[in-house]
Chains A and B, each alone.
Chain A
Amino acid sequence: MTDQANQSRRNFLYVAAGGLGAVAAGATVVPFIGSMLPAADTLAASKTEFDVSTVEAGQLVTIQWQGKPVFVVHRTPELLKQVDGHDDKLKDANSEAIAEVQQEWMDTPEKRKYRAIKPEYLIVVASCTHLGCIPLFKPSEGRKEWGDSVPDDWAGGWHCPCHGSYYDISARVLNGSPAPHNLHVMPYQYKSDTTVVIG
């Protein structure tokens, strides 16, 4: 009788000690994995200021924000026209699929289409949503300038050299691309007429 009582008591102690040991080991993992997450200075919300008036009409400039490349494109009226007429070829024409592709200010169909506070200046994260390469800017329509690298009904936009994703001139991904989403739009606001604060 006492033997049995001792045995169950012993089993309880084994399980309790082993369980606590496992919990302690698990807790020890936390700081180690935690140390691999971005450090405080990396996380520190860095903002980038940029004067969009320095971008010539039709030009693309790549700037850096939080170590990530960002496209600033000055779209001419001709380029803005190229946004229309191919909604059926887009995976997410209205940028609704995930939070990263939209911003609060996209409150009208117009703004969802141009994906910019000021339609003439498109500002998007320059990382292909497939595997993070920087897509090549191929703005003009058709294959004249780009050859076989773009489809024959090319409406202008970006072509990712790594795995062949295509984006239109509003950085919306085309059907048949390996990239799942439109290029991300990061938070930004205009401090003055031409100075934009990204972040």
Chain B
Amino acid sequence: MLDKIMKTDLFAWIDRRTDAGAIIKSQLTEYPAPKNLNYMWNFGSLALLVLVLQILTGIFLVMYYKPSAEATFGGFTVAFDSVERIMRDVNFGWLIRYMHAVGASMFFVVVYMHIGRGMYYGSFKAPRELLWIIGVVILLIMQGAAFFGYLLPWGQMSFWGATVITNLFGAIPVLGEYIGQILVGGFAVGDPTLNRFFSLHYLFPLLLAAIVGGHIHALHVVHSNNPEGIDLHKPEETIPFHPYYTLKDAFGVAFFLLFYCYIVFFNPQMGGYFIEVDNYVPANNLQTPAHIAPVWYLTPWYTILRSFESKLLGVAAMGGSLAILFVLPFLCKSAVRSARYRPVYKIMVIMFFIDVIVLGYCGHSAPTATLKVVGQIATAYYFLFFFALPLLPKFEKTKPVPEGI
């Protein structure tokens, strides 16, 4: 179909003015993709899909949402009531809000799979270091956007989550209090905080869209890694992205939408994991809920924070656990990329994935003495994994990699 469109007069007219044909050729129909990509390579396009869904549903939600912590006659607040109005009175409001709330969690599901893929097959290694670093920036902006968005319904979890996270910055020496005030706009989380978080929640996806463009551009310069983790030299090792991978991605999209729609329509709160029950209680600045935990996608880092008794150390470790992702390409010195040919790394990286799940579980549960120790061990392994990487090539005997695919 694409080639038929490209033969029309209209396309020719556009092509003379934009060079669209050359772009389509170099980026799609003649863009070389390894012929052996497995389904783990579907998550990039899925992430793009969810980003588009989030921006789209977000724009429609803003037509009804009101960012104000002012009290209403009902005894709640303007923001809380406007969200309830979207759920009850606005036509299809329930659907659009659930798509947005579920989409936020699914965005992280997809992106965490995408990151895991990159770590397992060594996609972060040369020459794709900058591609990986741009990806880490995307992850941080996503986490920021999710955090800002979570305040908007102005429920108990919104309020106390924001209180805890903005207080984190107080641990930074000298500038801490100043940064906290800039974030909150007052002495405690309140109306000014809600307004600026709303503004930033709108800004961050725009940043995301731009940086995702950079991520894709960087990918198209260095080209995709593959499950074998080897460089491809022969033309017969690659196939054009379109139609082969556009179709495979479309199949992945259909499969993804099956899950997404199930959750949106039948289980939007996902047992309190996607939307926490406490957030249906309006924000009350005089009462902290008995147990506060961030949404599941932030809980691994929350556990790292909780594993330290000193506030400053906890905050530094949490920041460090994210910052260390930036230098992963430079910590990993092995000449072999894929875990398929790195027996020790394979065990280490699978343990790392389990470790992050354990961290997430600990952060989601109420703090007990046992879980605290489990969390501390998991935190230790998280860092150990990264610090062991530079030493690994000294004793790891890698398997021979194939010549080609």
A interface vs B, CB < 8 Å? 33, 36-39, 42, 62, 64, 66-69, 126-127, 130-134, 136, 148, 161-164, 176-180
Contacts and interface: CB of A to CB of B under 8 A. Distances in A.
Interface string B316-343: 0000000000000000000000000000
Given A131-B168, A132-B163, A67 B190 contact: yes
Given A130-B167, A163-B306, A178-B314, A67 B186 contact: yes
B286 A134 contact: yes
B286 A36 contact: no
A162 B288 contact: yes
Residue of A134, A177, A179 with most chain B CB atoms under a 10 A cut-off: A134
Contacts of B292: 133, 161-162
Given A36-B196, A131-B167, A66 B187 contact: yes
Contacts of B309: 176-178
B286 A69 contact: yes
B160 A163 contact: no
A161 B292 CA distance: 8
B167 A39 contact: no
Interface string B186-206: 111010100010000000000
Contacts of B7: none
A184 to B, nearest CB: 11
B290 interface: yes
A44 to B, nearest CB: 11
B290 A179 contact: no
B188 A178 contact: no
A68 B291 CA distance: 20
A133 B160 contact: yes
B311 to A, nearest CB: 5
B290 A161 contact: yes
B310 interface: yes
Contacts of B288: 133-134, 136, 161-162
Residue of A33, A67, A148 with most chain B CB atoms under a 10 A cut-off: A67
A134 B167 CA distance: 13
A179 B289 CA distance: 18
B367 interface: yes
B18 interface: no
Nearest to B171: A180
Contacts of B368: 148
Given A66-B187, A176-B309, A178-B309, A164 B286 contact: no
B393 interface: no
Nearest to A66: B187
Nearest to B162: A132
Nearest to B366: A161
Contacts of B192: 38-39, 42
When A and B form their complex, which 7 residue pairs have the shortest distance between CB atoms, in order from nearest?
A132-B167, A131-B167, A131-B164, A134-B288, A133-B288, A67-B188, A132-B163
9 contacts: A39-B185, A67-B285, A162-B160, A162-B164, A162-B292, A163-B306, A178-B309, A180-B310, A180-B312
Nearest to B168: A131
A42 B314 CA distance: 31
Interface string B143-175: 000000000000000001001111110000000
A69 B287 CA distance: 9
B163 A133 contact: yes
Interface in B297-318: 306, 308-312, 314
Contacts of B290: 136, 161
A161 B291 contact: yes
Residue of A33, A36, A64 with most chain B CB atoms under a 10 A cut-off: A36
A64 B181 contact: no
A64 B187 contact: no
Residue of B160, B292, B309 with most chain A CB atoms under a 10 A cut-off: B309
A38 B163 contact: no
B311 A180 contact: yes
B187 A130 contact: no
B285 A179 contact: no
B311 A64 contact: no
B285 A38 contact: no
B112 to A, nearest CB: 25
A37 B287 CA distance: 26
A36 B182 contact: yes
A176 B309 CA distance: 7
A38 B186 contact: yes
Given A179-B311, A180-B310, 7 more contacts: A38-B185, A66-B188, A131-B164, A132-B166, A134-B287, A161-B289, A161-B290
A102 to B, nearest CB: 18
A164 B305 CA distance: 13
A163 B315 CA distance: 13
A185 to B, nearest CB: 15
A68 B181 contact: no
A38 B181 contact: yes
A111 to B, nearest CB: 26
B17 to A, nearest CB: 35
Contacts of B291: 161
Given A131-B163, A132-B164, A163-B306, A68 B187 contact: yes
B315 to A, nearest CB: 9
B206 to A, nearest CB: 17
Residue of B185, B291, B306, B311 with most chain A CB atoms under a 10 A cut-off: B311
Given A68-B187, A163-B306, A133 B164 contact: yes
A68 to B, nearest CB: 5
